[in-house]
Structures are given as C-alpha cells and as structure tokens.
Structure 1
C-alpha cells in the first residue's frame, strides 16, 4: 500500500482538489482563483464520488493523487458492477476529472480508453428519460385561476401561485427564480415585466448570456396573469421586508427571510399536488419539461423555446451552424402560448 493513504483520513472534495493543485508549484492565491471556478454545490455533489474513489484507491494500494488511466477505468467498472447507471458512473468520472489533469495532463480527458468505456456503459445501460409522458400546464393553470383575486389571497397562497406561474411561463430552473432581485425588475405598465438575472446560474458558461425573464400582462385571463400576480406579491410583501432585503421571494412565515431553492421547490410541488397531479411521478422540475413540451406542440419555434428556457448554448450552436440570428421572443409567444392552454386537460 501507499504509506500516506494508510495515514490520511478522507479529507473531502475541496481539500483533495487543493492538494492536487498545490503539487503543481502554484501559489495559494492562484489555487484560490482556480478553485473559485467551481461552485460550492459542485464540490458537495462530487464529494461522495471522491470518497468512493479514495476508498477504492486505499483498498487496492493506489495513490489516489497519481493513478493511471487503467486504475480509473477499473474504478469506474467497480461502480458499474455495483449496479450504477450511466449518470452515476459519469458523475464519478467527472469528480475524478476535477484534479487528475494536473497529474495526467489534458490527454486524460480525451483518452480513447476512457471514451470507449463510457460509450460501452451507455450501450449496456442507456440513460432513459425521467418522464415517459408529461402533464398539460392547463391542469395547473385552471387550479391557479381559482386563486383570485390576488389581493385577497393570504401570503402563502399568493407565494405559491406566483412561484408556479413563473416556473411555467419562463421554463427556468427553481434556482434561477430564487435569484430574482427587486431592483432587477422592470415593470412596463400594460405591456410586460422584464426581470434581469445578473447572478451566476447553474448553466452559466463563458461567453453565455444571462437570463432575461419576460412576463406578459395576460389580459385574456387576468386570474393567471403572471405580471399582475408579481405586482400583487411585491405590494403584499413590501412591509414585511426588513433592512436591505432585496430578494423577491421571502418566507411567508416570520421572520420572512430569504427563500432557498429547496423551499421554493416545495412551494411549487405542493401546488402541483393540489392541482391534482401525481407528485410521486412528477417533480418540481417537471414544470420545465411540461411547459417546453406544450409550447412545442402549440407551434412555438425551437429557437424561442431554447431562448426562453435558458438553453443558450444549444441556441447559439443552432444559430451558428445555420448562419442566422437567434429569434428573440418580442411578443412573449412562449408565455402567451402556455397561459392560453387552459382548455386542454389531456396528458401529452
């Protein structure tokens, strides 16, 4: 066995990455900047994967900081033998990739043996879509239309109504919705509400554009108008905000603190359940799938769907290959289409 492996306890994902980088003659400040390229959530996500890698290395006498490509493949094969699916195995590969290029070089990421192994896993255990079918947003919208007028709703009902409407008409992740700040909301009276999201989001990439959420004033059915619901929520919560509390969503219970992504997700999931959907089958994230699927079935262009849902990388690639600009949804076609589908009750 490698001596230091017997002495060292598992020190965590962040510490392993730092230890690896420190062996490349980098100064502490340089290491800090490199490590800032990854979010705290990423470190937490990969921590269990690296713990498995550390234990495997220790059991087989491998220096976990200086393995061979064969060592890595054998490790991934052990994860496969334990019944793991492609996504889990790929997460372990990505976790190890956080620091191994500093030792093996960038060729590790392009090693043909690694690529072939992952292709083999995919063929043997292909990734299946989470949902074989999805639900019609009209089911939820009809439920929300009964929550009216907005100004007469209690804060809990109004909070859950607004969060669910935003999830449907923007098709964005819950994390993006929790980043909405009051000072980034621009209300254009009787036209639309524009919401800028300057904070880093999960899908942020170099040279990618930040989300710009657009909420229409839906005059055909004010009961489910996202813009009016947003204004009502801001007015109702104005006196509950203390100090420089600038986040849009706050807890409906005292002390009305800033809302986490997990709590906002619970709000939306509770609304789906109250609407009659089976939340053991459909999670909060299914709003994204349901909204984009419905928009596509209603004839909304793929460019607009990608732009609305924040799939900026796919949209830019599509536009580049076809040598034309990305279509901008000036008329809120995506949101208008979703809000107009209340007459259909079937599952797609």
Structure 2
C-alpha cells in the first residue's frame, strides 16, 4: 500500500521486557536474589521514556495484530531488540509517530519521501549523523517487521541522503589519543592497605582494576554475578551469563581471567577482589551482583554508578575527565596492551571483538603523552652520517 505521497508501507515491533539472566554454577555463593524497581528513584525523564515506549509498543502490536500475527509471535519479534537498543529507538520512533500525525501519514505505511522529510527535520534541529542514523535504523527496523520485503537501509535515496549528512556533519571517533595507564596505576598504588581503606575506595579500586586489566565495558562490570566467580590459587575466572553488547548468536564473551600479581600486591586485582567479597559478604544479603552500594542499604548499583566511580579515579589520577569518559578505559587498556606487543588475537579475545577492524578504527590510539616527530625519525634512520 502506498501513502499519499507514494512509496511502500512498512512496520516494526519492539521488546518491552528484560532478558532473564542465564547463570552458571558458582563457587562463592549459592543464594538467589530478587530485585524490583524502586519507583521513587524513577526520574521524570525515565517516566517519559517509559510512557513513550509503551505508546510505541502498543501501536506496533496493533499493526501486527491486524496482520493476524499472534501475541506469542509478536513477543518473539519484539525480543529481537535488546533493552539498550529499545531505549535508543523509542525516543525517535515516538518523534516519528508525532511527525506522521501532523502530516496525516499512516505510521506504518509511509513513503521513502516521508522518511526523508522526517530525517531532514531531525538534521535541521541540529542532530548529527549518528543520531539521525539511529532514527533511520529505528524506522527501518520497524518497517522490516511489518513488511519484510521492504528495507530502508538498502534504498538508494536513503543511503545517499545519509552519506550527505555524514559529509556535512560527520560522526568521528571521540578520541584521537588516549591517556597513560601508568598515571592511574600510580594512583591505585596509594589506595592501601586494601583491608583498611574505606569500602568506597575499595570499590573504586576494584572497578578500575577490572576495567583496566580486562578492557571490559561498564556494562560487563555491572553484570558480574558473584555466583559466576571462580577463585583458584593464583587466578580468578569470571563467567558472564547475561547478554552483553558484543553477544550474538553463536558468539559470547569468553570468561575473563584475573591473575594474581605477586610483583606488586598494591596492584593485585585478585587480592583486591577477595577483600571486596569478604568485606561485602555480610552487607549484601541476598544480592548477587558483585558491585553494591557503598552506603546503606547495600543494594546493587547501576551501570552509571560504576561509570562515575571510574571517572572519579581518572580525575584523581590527573586525567582530563572533560576529554576522557569512563569508557576510555577500554581504549587505554587495549592500546597499552598493543604497545606492549600483546598479540592482536589475544586482545580481540579479551575485549570480545570479532575482528581487528573495530579495534583499529576506534580503540587503538597513541598515548596523549607520546610525541613522535615523523620527520626526525626519517632523518635518524635514513640520513648518512
């Protein structure tokens, strides 16, 4: 079916429930815990997001119902989007529905020209390539569910339009360089002894050590389950039972391994982890998430809190936090490993990258303190004495 301005009709579906964690065995704790959302902690922005998401999902479900798609099938289709993807998508899909309402366009039967007008409106509002591309992906994904034969992503006009936006307002990597990991390590050495420092400092130290030594995202740290921590004599293995950003069918992050560092116990992540587990055992109750609040009640914390901890450590280490965010630990960590001649295959396995393209494009950065003059190197190596 075509809209008033011509073109194909499209649709989408969404995921509205959280994915239940899949946990393996445990050597630390066999207790099970339940959690609930504390409505008193829901901000106005979060409430608005939930309202928008609910409205979007209802419209998508109704469109699927009109195609005689059962509720059970709709649930599975909606589950093709992870929660993080939904959080990005629903903001733009709600804007799309409002746009269609103003233009008297059927949300799921819009033409390519309608979509281009909507993307242009977003661009004119000041959004860059990345945001507009997310909006395009959202609409395209919805359309593909309602009409599998239609794909905005392969439409030549859409592709050229997005290329034009990139050329006029490009989305480039955030960092051109990274920070010196030795600065952070020197600061962490001052947080001793681990058995007497405050729980807050101990939490900061453990979060940064794990992030720095494994190159993991804050999401991964947030999802560490104490039941999946296996402690041996000289190392610790941590398995992940939850879906991570890099998880795909047939591919999941391998267990991360933390090795005891006998050369300098001030930087030993295993010792720090053991102290943290012992310190929080009587505080966490039935909470199975590794990182808990440093204040009573000691409940599980959000991914943002872990990010704030890492940011604080960076700031205390003398790193410019206006330039470098918590996620920069992933760049600094793996870039340092590459500079230390760690094999690229090992780096990819540890960080969870399938190929080296992502690492080379976004994460392999020179240290901000490195000042190499190419001209001098050429003269030193090729000039005749």
TM-score by length of 2: 0.76
Q: 1:218 aligns with which of 234, 244, 261?
A: 261
Q: Answer yes or no: is the 8 Å Cα contact 2:64–2:146 preserved in 1.
A: no
Query: Are residues 317 and 260 of structure 1, via their aligned partners in 2, closer, same or farther at CA, if it must alter by over 3 Å?
Result: closer
Deviation at 1:293, TM superposition (A): 1.5
Q: Deviations over 1:59-91 (max 9, x none)?
A: 222211210122112221222223321101111
RMSD of the TM alignment (CA)?
2.4
Would you say the 8 A contact 1:13–1:44 is kept in 2? Answer: no
| Greater mean deviation of Cα atoms: 213-222 or 155-164 | 213-222
Give the superposition deviation at 1:303.
Answer: 1.5
On the 8 A contact 1:13/1:46 being kept in 2, the answer is no
Secondary structure (helix, strand or coil) at the match of 1:255 reads: coil
Contact 1:186 1:195 in 2 (8 A): yes
* CA 104–183 in structure 1, closer or farther in 2 if over 3 Å, else same: closer
Deviations 1:238-283 (A, max 9, x none): 11121x3221111111110011111111111111111111212111
**Separation in structure 1 between the aligned mates of residue 358 and residue 334 of structure 2, nearest angstrom:** 19
Partner-residue secondary structure (3-state), 2:252: coil
Could you tell me which residue of structure 1 aligns to residue 306 of structure 2? 264
State the match for 2:168 in structure 1: 124
Segment of structure 1 superposing worse, 250-259 or 95-104: 95-104
The residue aligned with 1:334 is none
| Between structures 1 and 2, the one with greater helix share | 1
Instruction: Measure, in 1, the Cα distance between the counterparts of 2:368 and 2:193.
Output: 23
Are 1:174 and 2:218 counterparts? yes
Match of 1:49 among 67, 74, 92: 92
The alpha carbon displacement at 1:148 in A equals 1.4
2:369 aligns with 346
C-alpha distance 204-82 of structure 1, shift in aligned 2 (>3 A): same
**Counterpart of 2:155?**
111
Could you tell me which of 337, 343, 352 is aligned with 1:295? 337
C-alpha contact (below 8 Å) 1:135/1:347 kept by paired residues: no
For residue 317 of structure 1, report the CA deviation from its aligned partner.
11
Match of 1:218, SS state, is: coil
Q: Are residue 246 (structure 1) and residue 288 (structure 2) matched?
A: yes
The 2-side partners of 1:119 and 1:56 are apart by 23
Partners of 1:181 and 1:316 in 2: CA distance: 30
**Structure 1: gaps spanning 5 or more residues:** 3-8, 319-343
Q: Secondary structure at the match of 1:98?
A: helix
Cα 1:317–1:265, aligned 2, differ >3 Å: closer, same or farther?
A: closer
What is aligned with 2:355?
314
Where structure 2 has 5 or more consecutive residues not aligned to the other structure, the ranges are 5-50, 360-366, 372-385
Distance 1:131 1:69, change over 3 A: same
CA contact (8 A) 1:13 1:43 kept: no
In structure 2, distance between residues paired with 1:268 and 1:134? 15
**CA 1:174–1:201: 2 relative to 1, 3 Å:** same
C-alpha separation in 2, matches of 1:106 and 1:88? 25
Q: Report which stretch shifted further, 284-293 or 16-25.
A: 16-25
Aligned mates of 1:315, 1:18 — CA distance in 2: 39
2:185 matches 1:144: no
Q: Which residue does the alignment assign to 1:341?
A: none
CA contact (8 A) 1:139 1:275 kept: yes
Contact 2:122 2:132 in 1 (8 A): yes
Q: Distance in 1 between matches of 2:356 and 2:149?
A: 28
Residue aligning to 1:233: 276
Deviation at 1:27, TM superposition (A): 0.6
SS of 1:128's equivalent in the other structure is: coil
1:300 to partner: Cα distance: 1.7
Q: 1:203 to 1:271 in 2, by over 3 A?
A: same
